Chain A
Amino acid sequence: MLPIYLSFKEMWRNKGRFLLFSLVIALITVLVLFIAALADGLGNGNREYIEKLNGDLIVYKSDVALSITASQLGREKLLEVSRVPGVTDAGQVSFSSTVVRYQGAKELNVSLIGVGAGKPGEPPVVQGRGLQDRQAKEAIIDRNVALTTGLRVGDNLTIKSIQGAKEKLYTLQVVGISDGRQFFLQPSVIVPDLTFEQIKPGAVPTGNESDLISNIIVVRLQHPSQWKQMESVLASQVSGIQAVDKVTAYENTPGYAAQQSTLSTQQFFSLLIGVLVIGGFFQIQMLQKVPQIGMLKAVGASSPVIALSALAQIVMVTVIGVAIGTAATLLMALTFPATIPIVFSPMAIVLGVVSILLIGPLGGLVSIRYALRVEPLTALGLSS
């Protein structure tokens, strides 16, 4: 009780100073939380489609270093992969980038994804129905496209795509809406594979499905838990391919790893700066209090009382700062337009808050150690 009494009185009688410092911690909190939200937002925009795929393994052409764009797999690879024992289903998936035109002349950049109707790679819909025909002029749009364009099931969707040197417009019908399926930081339009062949930018349609070339093949396994063994089984039974799990797949999308490590480095340094700032503040304050601590020890305050009151103070200042910072972050997040790639996942907020709550006492440890070393003899102006 006494340590809390002392630390509370000290803060109360020096409100300005401690509040100011809580605000500094609040700023660090805002910084850390925003970097985490940005990392989540950007990361999600890059990996969402792959992360949510309804399959267990992703098959690439071998020797392309898991580059989706460089990977080219023909129809015959799909058939070979499908025949491997343990594979229950497989679907070709192709990616391109194009533009949706909506509400007159407004345009939205989207990822255009070609999938086999009803095959792995096609997302489940939350509204409407799935794709039914490989040639049909129909599409599933993801939640983000739906939100931005206002398109609903049954509406017509206009795709603008460059063919040769000219822009061409294609009209598809929205048959279903899926949850968020961003890819390459763009919302997605999912179309049947043969339709994809016709409308993708720079299309050279053959109309012949046996020539259909995709970027990857999504494989569903009989025993998903055995994905590790199946990676090598597939590679040994089908020539010229490489199979990896989804995490490996999205970690190898261009820029993903670099982006995430940049952001986590930033986060690490924000926390490090936090430790140094908090540590510095309490240490400076401790230096000023040395004579007073010597006096307190001389009149009989025990080391635990001294240490706990210092700790209680650090904890209180940090908690107040983190609370202000978290509240401010969430308020700011409300005012952000939806197009900014910021995602506040509860997990990331908890992690950020907890790490700052931990670095507070960590930063203060030096000053507590220092306080414990002050000799009561100094109260009499002596040293041992």
Chain B
Amino acid sequence: MANSLETKAVTKIYQTDTGVTRAVDSVTLAVQNGEFVALVGPSGSGKTSLLAMLATLLSPNEGEIIIAGQSLMEMSDRERTRFRREKIGFTFQANNLVSYLTAMENVELMLRLNGKYDRAGRERARELLARLGLGDRLNNLPRQLSGGQQQRVAIARALIHNPALVLADEPTASLDTERAYQVVQTFANLIHEQNRVGIMVTHDLRMTAFADRVVQMMDGKIRRVIDNHEEITGFSRGTLSSAPPSEPRAPRLVPRLAPS
């Protein structure tokens, strides 16, 4: 099966007055289509920086990234923008949706951006939202939806235009445990069904239960990779013997508040 995502020794260095940070340090990773990867690690370990580079929003200092057969390195800013709207789907931690568009319109927006808005697309958007349990919420504005419902709209938005790569930044951060499980499970199922590459950054280890692979980062480096189903289950329950002590053992019960 094709590798829709490949990174080769990707490195991101931040230079500030106080010094140099190797936020992402020589990360090499290959993800197959239909694979759902959870990216975990302590705060400051470089998860978001890596995600931003995969999203073409940040340029690596070294290394290479190839998505859907295309190297991101030679692209101009305009090409990157176009690449993002065609090949990448996003869900963000906060401010996911356009406040003045309904759930349906937010999903359709990706089709409009790509000039592919038509009856068939509209039908797909409706089905996708129904699949995510929002069949009766199509015409609600974001402010009329709960946090979990908004995240699900964002997931539909991330998938509607058939992207090669779906990136989710802490999709469960503002949800309670029950809803978080539901959201991640549906997300994982859709990645599998539609045969896309899914990468989810999460602080909540329990959410890794639905992943095919867990990539654990530390100080910018991949500390370890778990791709065995049983080990992942153990990891997500916090019972995996070699779980690093720096990881929070107890699952976070209080949802992290998104900045409003």
Contacts and interface: CB of A to CB of B under 8 A. Distances in A.
Interface in A302-323: 302-303, 305
A296 interface: yes
Interface stretch (B28-36, B85-93, B246-254): B85-93
Interface of A: 2, 5-6, 9-10, 12-14, 291-292, 294-303, 305, 376-377, 379-382, 384
A382 B58 CA distance: 10
B90 A299 contact: yes
A292 B81 CA distance: 16
Given A298-B92, A300-B114, 16 more contacts: A9-B101, A10-B100, A12-B100, A13-B101, A292-B95, A292-B99, A295-B98, A297-B81, A298-B84, A298-B90, A299-B113, A300-B83, A302-B78, A380-B52, A380-B92, A380-B169
B27 interface: no
Interface residues of B, number: 35
B47 to A, nearest CB: 10
B81 A380 contact: no
Contacts of B78: 302
Nearest to B51: A380
A300 B86 CA distance: 8
Contact of B93 (A2, A9, A376, A381): A381
B144 to A, nearest CB: 11
B57 A377 contact: yes
A298 B110 CA distance: 12
Contacts of A292: 95, 98-99
A377 B49 CA distance: 10
A302 B99 CA distance: 19
B90 A379 contact: yes
A305 B81 CA distance: 12
* CB-CB nearest 5 A-B residue pairs: A300-B85, A291-B95, A13-B100, A300-B84, A10-B100
Contact of A295 (B82, B95, B114): B95
Contacts of B90: 298-299, 379
B162 interface: no
B48 interface: yes
A383 to B, nearest CB: 10
A301 to B, nearest CB: 6
B224 interface: no
A303 B78 CA distance: 9
B13 interface: no
Contact of A5 (B55, B57, B99, B112): B112
Contact of A9 (B57, B84, B100): B100
A21 to B, nearest CB: 15
